[in-house]
Structure 1
Amino acid sequence: MDRLDREILGILQQDARISYRDLGVRVGLSANAAADRVRRMRRDGVIRGFTVLVDPAADTRGGLVVFIDVTLRLDTTNDAFEQAITRLPGITEAVHVTGAYDYLVRARAADPAALDVLLRRLKTEAGVAQSSTRIALRAANRPDRI
């Protein structure tokens, strides 16, 4: 990856629906050259997919947004954990992190009872040995987004 690839990634993270023409203009490439770079990054696994961000005002799901720090059991691999959480409802993101925990998981639960079920399933189905859960109250930098 070079400087242009990183610049393209930054733009796509802000607007994944940008046209190749507009993307090319922003980074100084033709539409075809920009498209080729995006296709190469998708093929190489740098870009694994595109995300839809839902406006919270239009989101009628409600419930709790939670952040769960997890430590894996010694017999659980990262790959096994990552595969297992794809089958668990409510998990919106999992990031492998440094520090005291192995992963930071972001999830949505309808209520405390649903959160309890999710935490139990993380331990029984995804190989989690220990967890620490925080409930999001609001986002300080973007109060309209949680």
Structure 2
Amino acid sequence: MDRLDREILGVLQEDARISYRDLGARVGLSANAASDRVGRLRRDGVIRGFTVIVDPAAGTRTGLVVFIDVTLRMDTTNEVFERAVLTLPGITEVVHVTGGHDYLVRATAADTASLDALLRRLRRDAGVAHSNTRVALRAAPAS
């Protein structure tokens, strides 16, 4: 996926109903070239539908992207936490780490209310004692 693909995804996130002609004009392509790229992104699974669901690994996002440092309760095992956290909505990555916390969780949330609900569920359902949340402000595209 290149810079142009990311630009197309950004436009589609703003308006998933945009015509290929207008999409192409926004990113500097013909309507046919824009259609071909969107078709390839769909075949590759980057675009899973036109309800503005985009794979976070593609380097674009909808709503908030957050990084949550997690410390487990003493009565919670790693296995219990991992099983529980992977059932929660918006979780995109769970990494067991060294240092002052047990895990680093990457997640997406539509808004702050959704983030609050996720943090509450982490404590209630996944055995989290303490968490520290950081919100991504922007990401530099990988080359």
> Which TM bucket (shorter chain)?
0.5 to 0.7
Structure 1 residues 122 and 137, CA, compared in 2 at 3 Å: closer, same or farther?
Answer: same
* Alpha-carbon distance in structure 2 between the residues aligned to 1:52 and 1:112: 18
Superposed CA offset, 1:99-119 (max 9, x none): 110000000000000000000
The 3-state SS of whatever aligns with 1:124 is helix
Which stretches in structure 2 are left out of the alignment for 5+ residues?
1-54
Structure 2 counterpart of 1:88:
88
Percent same amino acid among aligned pairs? 65
- Cα distance, 1:52 vs structure 2: 8.4
- Cα distance, 1:138 vs structure 2: 1.4
Give 1:1-146 correspondences, 5 Å limit: 53-56=57-60, 62-139=62-139, 143-144=140-141
How does the TM-score come out when normalised to structure 2? 0.58
Note if contact 2:56-2:92 (Cα within 8 Å) is conserved in structure 1.
no
- Cα distance, 1:53 vs structure 2: 3.4
Give the RMSD, CA atoms, in angstroms.
1.8
* Alpha-carbon distance in structure 2 between the residues aligned to 1:125 and 1:74: 14
* Alpha-carbon distance in structure 1 between the residues aligned to 2:98 and 2:63: 29
The 3-state SS of whatever aligns with 2:119 is helix
Q: Point out 4+ residue stretches in structure 1 off by more than 4 angstroms.
A: none
* Alpha-carbon distance in structure 1 between the residues aligned to 2:83 and 2:123: 14
* Alpha-carbon distance in structure 2 between the residues aligned to 1:134 and 1:73: 21
* Alpha-carbon distance in structure 2 between the residues aligned to 1:130 and 1:138: 25
The 3-state SS of whatever aligns with 1:100 is coil
The 3-state SS of whatever aligns with 1:121 is helix
* Alpha-carbon distance in structure 2 between the residues aligned to 1:54 and 1:87: 22
**Number of corresponding residues:** 88
Structure 1 residues 55 and 106, CA, compared in 2 at 3 Å: closer, same or farther?
Answer: closer
Structure 1 residues 52 and 118, CA, compared in 2 at 3 Å: closer, same or farther?
Answer: closer
Which stretches in structure 1 are left out of the alignment for 5+ residues?
1-50
* Alpha-carbon distance in structure 1 between the residues aligned to 2:137 and 2:79: 31
